Amino acid sequence: MTQNVVYSGQVAQDAITIIKKFRPEMTFFRDTYRQIHSMPELSGQEAETARIVSNFLETLGGFTVHTGIGGHGIAAVLSNGDGPCLLLRADMDALPMLEQTNLPYASERTMASQDGPKPVMHACGHDAHVACLMATAQLLFNSRAYWRGTLICVFQPAEETLSGANAMIADRLFDKIPKPDIVLVQHLSNGRTGKISSRSGTLLTASESLSIRIFGHGGHGGWPHQCIDPVNIGCSIVLQLQTLVSREVEPGKLAIITCGSIHAGETAGTIPNHLDLKVTLRALDDATHTRLLASIKRIVEAECRVGGTTRAPLIETTRSSGATINDDNTFQVLKNSFVSYFGTEYSDMEIATATEDVHLLASAAGAPLVMWFFGGSDAAQWDNAERQGTLEELPMNHSPFFAPNKGRAERNNLGQLHFR
């Protein structure tokens, strides 16, 4: 974090020495991780998690802590002399899912949502992100005699709905804190524990989520001829949407259409009045995205006409975010640092077909962004699955069985942070 940095084996060795000397005791952060995991909070409702974070930062001292930004967002600033300004971000929200990990600290929580009460689970590693950034804040505070500049730790709400970064920006985040020179963010994956991966350029795809309502004419299941069945129409739409990528996207271009939710009616013997469908579109380039979005709307409207509906469907965008693009110059510097520190534990990765909103923080600050992933699957289980060709069976992010095992820096004998 010093202004003039030379990336070499000596720098890596110096970093190891500093971390060994100033690394905080990990038991507290393991316990904090487990606490947050057991009490997940939906997007926009992260009050308890934010309270844990802000209390820790206030107790740590040295940081100017801003709370309640864009909801429950936190930005903590540690000023440490002249030098670059670095922003690190962790997201805090969880997903509306029923946890099935059988962990002793598994979530049993249910929370209110706009669709009614929902079970809640940390199935994307945000609990680990929070614990890791808290530990990083203490490490950098403890070692502040060895670096100069400004550290900003942002704990962001509502990443899962792709609304939290924009909410913090709209709430004048960068009027409250300095604009960073660099934005860095890490994300847990189901890769092998101890592995670090990233890439230059496009890392994550852009996406747009749609909420679609198909209107029918409900009635008794025994008299379907007197009804307009939105279930038949909805099923036809789902099947037709799957042809778009294979028939309307130029070969070699990346695009995905996912129908993640379909719901209609409550009983087997009744034809419902409407059907709700939730669809996500992912693409790398604007032209493909624009074409597929128009095609989705075309298919939905056409199938409704074929099905004889008397009311046009409702098609609404519920969330959207652009691609996450790693700045090449910053990435190359960080990659050199990773390789010199982690050795073969670092590897370049392919584009991931997920979506983030952290790039909005970087764009609003006019700062370069780099994001990387670190693995959370047990090393022995990963190696065994790789030998057997069953890696796809390991629980991934957004799975009800997602349970990261541990984070470690084994190569440098820095100890282990056990999540389980």
Q: Which residues are catalytic?
A: 93, 159
DSSP reduced 3-state for 248: helix
Note whether 154 and 74 are within 8 A (CB): yes
Nearest to 211 by CA among 256, 167, 255, 261: 261
Helix (H) or strand (E) holding 45: none
Note whether 264 and 271 are within 8 A (CB): no
Nearest to 377 by CA among 419, 354, 414, 406: 406
Helix (H) or strand (E) holding 302: helix 286-306
Greatest extent of the chain over all pairs of C-alpha atoms, in Å = 79
CB atoms within 10 A of CB 299: 18
Helix (H) or strand (E) holding 282: strand 274-283
Note whether 267 and 233 are within 8 A (CB): no
Task: Quote the CA–CA distance of 170 and 295 in Å, as a whole number.
Answer: 32
Q: What crossing angle do the helices spanning 328-342 and 9-22 adopt, rounded to 10°?
A: 70
* Bridge partners, residue 118, by sequence: 111
Distant-in-sequence, close-in-space partners of 10: CB < 8 Å, separation ≥ 6? none
* Eight-class DSSP state of 23: P
Distant-in-sequence, close-in-space partners of 255: CB < 8 Å, separation ≥ 6? 244, 245, 249, 281, 282, 283, 284, 288, 289, 292
CB atoms within 10 A of CB 96: 18
Helix (H) or strand (E) holding 289: helix 286-306
* Bridge partners, residue 217, by sequence: 228
